[in-house]
Structure 1
Amino acid sequence: MTNEEELAAVQAKAEALLAGRLAVVDELAGAEHADRAAEQAAQRARAHKAAVWAKAEKAGWSEAELVQMGFKKPTTRAPGRPRGKKKAAESTGASATRAPSPRQSDDTTENKTPTTAPSE
C-alpha cells in the first residue's frame, strides 16, 4: 500500500466516524430550535393568561373566586402599564406631593432688599 492509499484509508475512516458525530449535532440543533420555539410559545401563553386574568378581575371576579374555580394565578403580570406607585404611596400613608426643593423655598426671599434702620 502506498502512502497515498494509506492516507485515503485513514481519511475514509475519519469521515465515517465524523459522519455519525455530525448526525448527532444536526439532531441537537433541531432539538435546540424546538426548545426555543416552545419557550417562546410558553411566554406568549403566560402573557395571554395574565391579560385574561386581569380582564376577569376588571369584570368583577376576585382572585379568591378564580382560584376557587380551579384557576391558577398567573406567574407573570399582564403586559401594559404597571399598577402605579401612587396606589402604593396612598396605602402607606405617604404624601403624593413632593416637598419643595431648596431652590423653590429660596424663591420667597429672592429679589427682596433688606431694610436697614435710617442713619443718624
Structure 2
Amino acid sequence: MDTEGLAEVQAKAQELLAGRLEVIDELTGADQIEKNAEAAVQRARTAKATVWQKALRAGWSEEELGKLGFKKPTVKAPGRPRGKKANGQSSQRPRSEDSAPAKTIPEQPGESERPAGVGSH
C-alpha cells in the first residue's frame, strides 16, 4: 500500500472511530453525574441519621417518629459512640480492687519483689 492509500485508510478509520468516541464522552459525563448523585444521597442519609438521633435525644421515640411518617435511617449517624449502652450501663466494665494488679515496690539487693506494704519496715 502506498502512502496515499495508507492515508486514505487511516482517514476512514478516524471517521468511524470519531462517532464511537463521542459516545464515550457522553458516557463519561453520565458516569460522573451518577457518582455525584450517589455522593449527594449518602450525604443526605448521613444528615437524616444525625437529625434522627437528635430527635431521639429530644424525647421522641422511634415509634412516634414512625407514626409521623418518618422511616428509620438506613445508615448510622457519624461520630463516636456514646459512653453508655442502651440499658444505661457504662460501656466499660468497672474495675474491682480484686482485679487490679498489685502494686510492687522496687526490688532491693538480696530481696525478691513483693506486694507494697508487705514485709516493709
Shorter-chain-normalised TM-score: which range?
A: 0.7 to 0.9
Aligned mates of 2:46, 2:14 — CA distance in 1: 47
Q: TM-score, normalised by structure 2?
A: 0.73
Q: Which residue of 2 aligns with 1:105?
A: 102
Q: Following superposition of structure 1 onto structure 2, how do residues 26-65 of structure 1 map, counting pairs within 5 Å? A: 26-65=25-64
Q: Which residue of 2 aligns with 1:6?
A: 5
Q: TM-score, normalised by structure 1?
A: 0.74
List alignment gaps of at least 5 residues for structure 2: 105-113
Percentage of matched positions with identical amino acids: 52
Matched residue of 1:32: which SS?
A: helix
Aligned mates of 2:70, 2:79 — CA distance in 1: 22
C-alpha RMSD of matched pairs (Å): 2.8
Aligned mates of 1:112, 1:60 — CA distance in 2: 54
Paired letter, 1:14: A
Aligned mates of 1:29, 1:42 — CA distance in 2: 20
Q: Cα 1:63–1:40, aligned 2, differ >3 Å: closer, same or farther?
A: same
Give how far 1:88 is off: 6.3
Higher relative contact order (CA 8 A, sep 6+): 1
Give how far 1:83 is off: 2.8
List alignment gaps of at least 5 residues for structure 1: 115-120
Give how far 1:75 is off: 1.0
Deviations 1:2-40 (A, max 9, x none): 712211111011101111121111111101111111111
User: Which portions of structure 1, spanning 4 or more consecutive aligned residues, are displaced by more than 3 angstroms?
Assistant: 88-91, 110-114
Q: How many residues align?
A: 108
